[in-house]
Amino acid sequence: MLTLNLVQKIIIWAVPVIFAITLHEVAHGWIALRLGDPTAKMLGRLTVNPIRHIDPIGTVIVPLVMLLLPGGFIFGWAKPVPIGVRNFKNPRRDMAIVAAAGPLANLAMAIFWALVIRLGFALDPSLPSLGRPLALAGVAGVFINTLLMIFNLIPLPPLDGGRVAAGLMPRRWANTYEQIEPFGFWIVIGLLFIGAFRFMWLPIAAAMGFLSLFAGIEPNQLMLLLMSLLR
């Protein structure tokens, strides 16, 4: 198994983490614009420039601190893209579509990073100094995007899965369900603290096994490379 020092880990994780978090938010804003809400565009948030989306705590400090903790579990968030729900023709339906755009963007990015792994291994025999870090960055990208996709699909407001679920419910049920949202962030923090989200490892492993097809490597090889980044 590969052995990496802290500086190498930070360099490998930096780009995949920042873009996984920020492009997730861009996807929300872009779909909202397509559905009639120009709020994110007017505020300059429909850009791939991560500086416009970085939350100093959620995008920088939290991922860095979690990388330093035993196990190296990586997580974070960007500044939420503002959405003007009143601009939608069908607010409940359109808000559900906007919410689903974030996890779908993470899926697309996970596939992209899986192809980066394939490229890294293709370059490795002749250019090991380039191929190996590229493949490892791809592994980091696959993992962080898979994690964010599955985490955000949990049906708990204000997570994307909660908004999608509310959009699919009868209006009366949705009104009651959405009352959880003011407390949702603290519920999520509490569940993370007690380790209740360990169940996510099963779908994460299954998704990464699927993505290994795009990477051109065996699922167990992908997981071994991931362990070298997390330990």
Note the pLDDT of residue 75.
66
Note the pLDDT of residue 125.
64
Note the pLDDT of residue 192.
73
Catalytic positions, please? Answer: 25
Note the pLDDT of residue 130.
65
- Look at residue 217 and give its three-state secondary structure: coil
DSSP string computed for the chain:
-----HHHHHHHHHHHHHHHHHHHHHHHHHHHHHTT--HHHHTT-SSS-GGGT--IIIIIIHHHHHHHSTT-------PPPP--GGGSSSHHHHHHHHHHHHHHHHHHHHHHHHHHHHHHHHHTTT-HHHHHHHHHHHHHHHHHHHHHHHHHTSS-TTSHHHHHHHHHS-HHHHHHHGGGHHHHHHHHHHHHHTTGGGGGHHHHHHHHHHHHHHHTS-HHHHHHHHHHHH-
Note the pLDDT of residue 70.
60
Note the pLDDT of residue 73.
58
Quickly count: other Cβ atoms within 10 Å of residue 195's Cβ. 8
Note the pLDDT of residue 129.
62
Contact (CB, 8 A) for 25 and 9: no
Low-confidence stretches of the chain (pLDDT < 50) are none
Note the pLDDT of residue 187.
85
Nearest residue to 218 (alpha-carbon basis) of 130, 150, 124, 117: 117
Note the pLDDT of residue 38.
95
